[in-house]
């Protein structure tokens, strides 16, 4: 059979952020897992576009690092043994210590079907609500805000609203990097309508400011002051929609009193937020002028000890002006994870029950119990993420089953989470990756299917349910999460309730529960997909993307909620809430004078288990960094490019200093992605304070007092090699995936006396006769450069210096794509840079086309390129996903690098 005949086309969904882009995958060789991906032109979330992460999916589906077989205490076992063991141990712990001694910690990476089975097993049959999810870290405050305002966890609008808006307000959201396809849609909307105003509210000047008409770099945590001020000012100007409020809302009196008291006028707001009065006035004036306003918010709002109040302060302004339930307007929470919304649908948070029902209504508990025919219905809320791991440490929880997530990296005070798991009686980890910081502590490892193997559904930020379809068979003995839990449930004696044989069967039950006693003529609950409960296997397989609710015979779904202005509160009115500004719990002080803000970078996802496999994604930002304002850098004697110790009361890490006036003074930013698997001291979670929002339980990941100190080791170095190495006794070591090589950034407190010897020992001359070395060593100056050449090709090279003055790594990396070095390349090898006439692209800027900074700078200078479009025509950069366009603009303005 020809290769072409074997090619199979599969429509599926991207596994990364909450935009939920449709992907068309051409499976060119299922056995070798060779695929080509492009955006699905028919998917309404992205209309054919993919960002750099989505475009690189093909580089992340290999079997490297996969967990392929069940293991107990590091020993391979059969599935039967593993499942029996988990069922027996869970049963025994429940029998001895009660159901609340067991917990599940799950993930927005799970499919809805996986989530549903986990939630049902724990809440209906084991008898505890101790199931929480890493979505707690992402959008729990938005859930609270929605429920307090609307009586339900409803995102009112849809992405199409960006096309109709006159004003888009982005609050605490680096959309350009974290939700790139939404950002592209906003950019397009602005090109189509130059009158569209975009306001970015963020302490940092991020790439998102590239499309902003106004950037409000407010003081961290002061969002409630700003939106209370807006509400009070609109009232003072007589610009509120009282007719709307009288007909459809309640709570205005208390809300406006609180707003006036805390933010009585523009000068007070400006002072509280650290903004100029003219900028505040401009924002307020635009908000007043443009009825069609969408307020988009994300982790910058949610990850706060007052995150829930921030959300309600934003929603208040929409309710008071009637800006909801119509095209081009509404508050819009965008989720970080691919299936954070699906998790909320099934009840994957410890304070939810199922299908948007809750523990605060006994009728809900009764209803769900009857529907499931539950044998041990949990009757009270469970432990939220931070409390859950605290309970593990205190032995109130004795068994924890962690699925598709890595809490030893991502939770705050992460070293305490590690200590909790080290002491826990039973730690079960289901994951597709063999070695993670969390899986390293597991007693039982269960191999789960990954993206490209999974079969089920996810729901994106605009309530759109899409199918993830398999491209390949699961490797080794990997199995879907829903299957694994179903098998354990059967062994625990719940076979009848867990008789599913396919994900479609799980989905049908989930859909039926959403419509159970949810009268279509007087719907009590917003989440209702009962219209999909009759899908047979084929119809489920062919399910097109659809926005819930989906009821009755109408399977087209619901793009926009609240068009009828009937909310899900008892009196069907939306609620304005009285909210007051509160300072973050831990203020900076003399010992820890700076505020640590954490977040994502453009080309990595979570703990890098997948995106870290892609050379082009790893090329953009290779190491953990700390962004510092120039004045703070001067104050703490930190220079750009050098290594810095970032320290808080909870822990410390090492990161490379990036000095930038885009960073606000008094704050530093560190990305969240690095783990103990790829760095010695790169886990920012170890520093983050474990304070949470009192209502939502979401950690305050954007505000931890820290100090930065230059770390001046005895030596700096880097190593490029074709083999993975175990490098011990080096204080700073970060592993980075390159194209046919691995790169290690290194630094140490004491330098070896004999570098050539150290290099030879590390690079293990297994076949001495076959390798030749070229070296340069200056012991007194502390410099060493050495390369090991095998068969005419460079096999590894090590560069060491007493300071950070080392060659650029990008050109050296290209030598690993050669089977044989040319004479010129050999001559230039130890110089670390190309000789005359040889090209050096420089660090990657455009990940899609692999265009480097030097190439761009050269083309801009030599060819007179003066626009992003001109760069695109010349080099393709910026023409695919568009994620690099803000950096291209910086280069055009001469501000980069």
Using alpha carbons, list the distances in angstroms from residue 874 to 287, 738, 811, 844: 40, 26, 21, 16
Using alpha carbons, list the distances in angstroms from residue 631 to 217, 218, 645, 664: 16, 18, 18, 10
Report in angstroms how near the CB of residue 46 gets to ligand SF4 at its nearest. 6
Report in angstroms how near the CB of residue 889 gets to ligand SF4 at its nearest. 20
Residue 24 or residue 126: which is nearer to ligand SF4 going by CB? 24
110 near ligand SF4 (CB under 6 A): no
| Candidate list 10, 12, 20, 657; residue touching ligand SF4; CB under 6 A | 20
334 near ligand SF4 (CB under 6 A): no
Residue 606 or residue 629: which is nearer to ligand SF4 going by CB? 606
Task: Look at residue 658 and give its three-state secondary structure.
Answer: strand
In angstroms, how far is CA 798 from the centroid of its own chain? Answer: 34
Residue 13, beta-bridge partner list: 22
Using alpha carbons, list the distances in angstroms from residue 840 to 234, 420, 808, 894: 56, 48, 9, 19
DSSP letter at 700 equals -
**What is the rounded CA–CA span in Å between residue 744 and residue 125?**
48
Report in angstroms how near the CB of residue 45 gets to ligand SF4 at its nearest. 7
Site pattern 129..168 for ligand SF4 (x: CB under 6 A): ----------------------------------------
599 near ligand SF4 (CB under 6 A): no
Site pattern 36..65 for ligand SF4 (x: CB under 6 A): ----------x---xx-xx-----------
| Binding span for ligand SF4 by CB under 6 A among 9-17, 541-549, 615-623, 743-751 | 9-17
| Candidate list 37, 106, 121, 181; residue touching ligand SF4; CB under 6 A | 181
User: Nearest 5°: CA angle at 700, between 698 and 706?
Assistant: 160
What is the dihedral sign for C-alpha 749, 752, 756, 758? negative
Residue 343 or residue 713: which is nearer to ligand SF4 going by CB? 343
Report in angstroms how near the CB of residue 180 gets to ligand SF4 at its nearest. 5
180 near ligand SF4 (CB under 6 A): yes
| Candidate list 10, 19, 121, 578; residue touching ligand SF4; CB under 6 A | 19
Burial class (CB in 10 A: 0-12, 13-18, 19+), 2: exposed
Q: By beta-carbon distance, which residue lies closest to ligand SF4?
A: 54
Size of the site for ligand SF4 (CB under 6 A): 14
Beta carbons of 464 and 546 less than 8 angstroms apart: yes
In angstroms and rounded to an integer, the radius of gyration of the C-alpha atoms of the chain is 27
First to last CA, the chain: 51
Report in angstroms how near the CB of residue 57 gets to ligand SF4 at its nearest. 8
Report in angstroms how near the CB of residue 627 gets to ligand SF4 at its nearest. 22
Report in angstroms how near the CB of residue 605 gets to ligand SF4 at its nearest. 7
Q: What is the 3-state secondary structure (H, E, C) of 221-243?
A: CCHHHHHHHHHHHHHHCCCCCHH
Residue 14 or residue 409: which is nearer to ligand SF4 going by CB? 14
Beta carbons of 66 and 448 less than 8 angstroms apart: no
14 near ligand SF4 (CB under 6 A): yes
**Two structure tokens written together for 380:** 């009270």
User: Nearest 5°: CA angle at 319, between 317 and 325?
Assistant: 125
841 near ligand SF4 (CB under 6 A): no
| Binding span for ligand SF4 by CB under 6 A among 19-27, 152-160, 266-274, 534-542 | 19-27
User: Nearest 5°: CA angle at 55, between 53 and 60?
Assistant: 70
Residue 259, beta-bridge partner list: none
In angstroms, how far is CA 807 from the centroid of its own chain? Answer: 32
| Candidate list 21, 140, 245, 865; residue touching ligand SF4; CB under 6 A | 21
**Two structure tokens written together for 556:** 């087209």
Report in angstroms how near the CB of residue 816 gets to ligand SF4 at its nearest. 28
Report in angstroms how near the CB of residue 186 gets to ligand SF4 at its nearest. 13
Secondary structure (DSSP) of 701-737: TT-EEEEEEE---SEEEEEEESS-----S-SEEEEEE
Residue 54 or residue 456: which is nearer to ligand SF4 going by CB? 54
286 near ligand SF4 (CB under 6 A): no
| Binding span for ligand SF4 by CB under 6 A among 10-18, 249-257, 267-275, 518-526 | 10-18
**Two structure tokens written together for 291:** 């009825």
| Binding span for ligand SF4 by CB under 6 A among 13-21, 253-261, 694-702, 753-761 | 13-21
The most distant pair of C-alpha atoms in the chain lies apart, rounded to whole Å, by: 88
Secondary structure (DSSP) of 356-393: TEETT-HHHHHHHHHHHT-SS---S----HHHHHHHHH
In what helix (H) or strand (E) does residue 784 lie, and over which residues does it extend?
A: strand 783-790
Residue 332 or residue 755: which is nearer to ligand SF4 going by CB? 332
| Binding span for ligand SF4 by CB under 6 A among 103-111, 177-185, 200-208, 255-263 | 177-185
Residue 16 or residue 507: which is nearer to ligand SF4 going by CB? 16
**Two structure tokens written together for 137:** 């870290």
Report in angstroms how near the CB of residue 878 gets to ligand SF4 at its nearest. 15
Report in angstroms how near the CB of residue 50 gets to ligand SF4 at its nearest. 4
**What is the rounded CA–CA span in Å between residue 355 and residue 344?**
8
Residue 121 or residue 546: which is nearer to ligand SF4 going by CB? 546
| Binding span for ligand SF4 by CB under 6 A among 173-181, 228-236, 244-252, 257-265 | 173-181
886 near ligand SF4 (CB under 6 A): no
Residue 16 or residue 732: which is nearer to ligand SF4 going by CB? 16
871 near ligand SF4 (CB under 6 A): no
Using alpha carbons, list the distances in angstroms from residue 35 to 7, 60, 761: 9, 10, 39
204 near ligand SF4 (CB under 6 A): no
**What is the rounded CA–CA span in Å between residue 319 and residue 309?**
15
Task: Report the interface residues with ligand SF4, using CB under 6 A.
Answer: 14, 16-17, 19-21, 46, 50-51, 53-54, 179-181
């Amino acid at each position: 059979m020809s290769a072409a005949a074997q090619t199979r086309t599969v429509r599926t969904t991207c596994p990364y952020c909450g935009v939920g882009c449709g992907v068309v995958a051409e499976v060119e060789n299922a056995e070798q897992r060779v695929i080509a991906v492009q955006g699905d032109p028919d998917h309404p979330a992205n209309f054919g576009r993919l960002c750099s992460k989505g475009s690189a999916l093909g580089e992340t589906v290999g079997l490297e690092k996969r967990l392929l077989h069940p293991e107990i205490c590091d020993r391979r076992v059969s599935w039967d043994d593993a499942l029996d063991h988990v069922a027996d141990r869970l049963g025994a712990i429940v029998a001895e210590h009660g159901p609340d001694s067991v917990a599940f910690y799950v993930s927005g990476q799970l499919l809805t079907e996986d989530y549903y089975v986990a939630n049902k097993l724990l809440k209906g049959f084991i008898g505890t609500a101790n199931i929480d999810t890493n979505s707690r870290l992402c959008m729990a405050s938005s859930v609270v805000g929605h429920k307090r305002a609307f009586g339900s966890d409803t995102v009112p609008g849809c992405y199409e609203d960006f096309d109709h808006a006159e004003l888009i307000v982005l609050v605490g959201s680096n959309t350009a990097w974290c939700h790139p396809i939404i950002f592209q849609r906003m950019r397009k909307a602005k090109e189509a309508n130059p009158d569209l105003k975009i306001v970015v509210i963020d302490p940092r000047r991020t790439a998102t400011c590239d499309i902003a008409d106004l950037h409000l770099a407010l003081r961290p945590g002061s969002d409630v002051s700003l939106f209370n001020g807006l509400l009070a000012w609109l009232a003072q100007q007589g610009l509120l929609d009282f007719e709307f409020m009288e007909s459809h809302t309640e709570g205005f009196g208390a809300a406006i009193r609180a707003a006036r008291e805390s933010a009585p006028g523009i000068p007070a707001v400006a002072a509280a937020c650290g903004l100029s009065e003219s900028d505040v006035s401009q924002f307020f004036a635009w908000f007043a002028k443009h009825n069609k306003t969408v307020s988009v918010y994300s982790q910058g709002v949610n990850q706060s000890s007052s995150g829930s109040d921030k959300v309600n302060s934003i929603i208040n302004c929409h309710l008071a002006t009637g800006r909801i339930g119509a095209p081009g307007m509404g508050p819009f929470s965008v989720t970080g994870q691919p299936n954070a919304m699906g998790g909320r649908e099934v009840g994957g948070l410890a304070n939810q029950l199922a299908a948007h029902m809750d523990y605060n209504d006994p009728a809900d508990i009764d209803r769900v119990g009857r529907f499931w025919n539950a044998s041990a219905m949990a009757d009270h809320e469970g432990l939220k993420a931070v409390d859950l791991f605290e309970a593990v440490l205190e032995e109130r929880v004795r068994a924890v089953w962690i699925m598709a997530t890595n809490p030893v990296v991502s939770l705050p005070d992460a070293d305490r989470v590690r200590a909790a798991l080290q002491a826990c009686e039973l730690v079960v980890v289901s994951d597709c990756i063999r070695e993670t910081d969390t899986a390293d502590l597991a007693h039982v490892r269960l191999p789960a299917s990954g993206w490209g193997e999974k079969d089920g559904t996810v729901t994106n930020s605009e309530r759109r349910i899409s199918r993830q379809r398999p491209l390949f068979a699961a490797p080794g003995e990997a199995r879907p999460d829903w299957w694994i839990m179903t098998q354990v449930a059967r062994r625990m004696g719940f076979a009848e309730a867990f008789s599913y044989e396919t994900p479609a069967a799980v989905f049908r039950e989930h859909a039926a529960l959403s419509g159970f006693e949810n009268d279509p003529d007087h719907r009590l609950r917003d989440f209702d997909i009962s219209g999909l409960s009759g899908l047979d296997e084929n119809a489920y397989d062919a399910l097109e993307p659809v926005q819930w609710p989906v009821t009755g015979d109408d399977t087209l779904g619901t793009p926009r909620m609240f068009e009828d202005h009937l909310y899900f509160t008892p009196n069907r009115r939306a609620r304005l809430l009285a909210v007051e500004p509160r300072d973050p719990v831990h203020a900076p002080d003399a010992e820890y004078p700076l505020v640590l803000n954490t977040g994502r970078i453009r080309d990595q996802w979570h703990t890098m288990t997948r995106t870290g496999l892609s050379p082009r994604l790893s090329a953009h930002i290779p190491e953990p960094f700390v962004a510092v304002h120039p004045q703070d850098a001067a104050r703490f004697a930190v220079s750009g490019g050098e290594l810095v110790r970032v320290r808080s009361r909870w822990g410390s890490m090492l990161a490379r200093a990036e000095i930038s006036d885009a960073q606000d003074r008094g704050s530093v930013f560190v990305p969240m992605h690095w783990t103990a698997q790829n760095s010695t001291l790169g886990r920012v979670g170890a520093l983050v304070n474990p304070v949470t929002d009192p209502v939502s339980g979401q950690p305050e990941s954007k505000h931890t007092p820290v100090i930065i100190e230059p770390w001046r080791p005895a030596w700096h170095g880097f190593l490029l090699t074709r083999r993975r190495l175990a490098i011990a006794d080096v204080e700073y070591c970060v592993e980075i995936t390159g194209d046919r090589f691995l790169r290690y950034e290194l630094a140490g407190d004491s330098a070896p006396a004999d570098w050539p010897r150290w290099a030879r020992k590390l690079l293990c001359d297994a076949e001495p006769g076959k390798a030749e070395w070229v070296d340069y060593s200056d012991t007194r100056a502390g410099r060493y450069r050495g390369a090991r050449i095998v068969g005419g090709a460079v096999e590894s090279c090590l560069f060491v210096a007493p300071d950070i003055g080392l060659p650029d790594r990008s050109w050296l990396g290209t030598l690993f794509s050669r089977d044989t070095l040319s004479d010129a390349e050999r001559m230039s090898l130890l110089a670390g840079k190309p000789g005359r006439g040889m090209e050096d692209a420089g660090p990657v800027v455009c990940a899609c086309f692999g265009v480097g900074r030097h190439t761009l700078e050269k083309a801009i200078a030599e060819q007179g390129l003066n626009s992003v479009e001109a760069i695109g025509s010349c080099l393709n950069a910026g023409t695919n996903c568009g994620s690099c366009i803000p950096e291209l603009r910086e280069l055009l303005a001469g501000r980069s690098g």
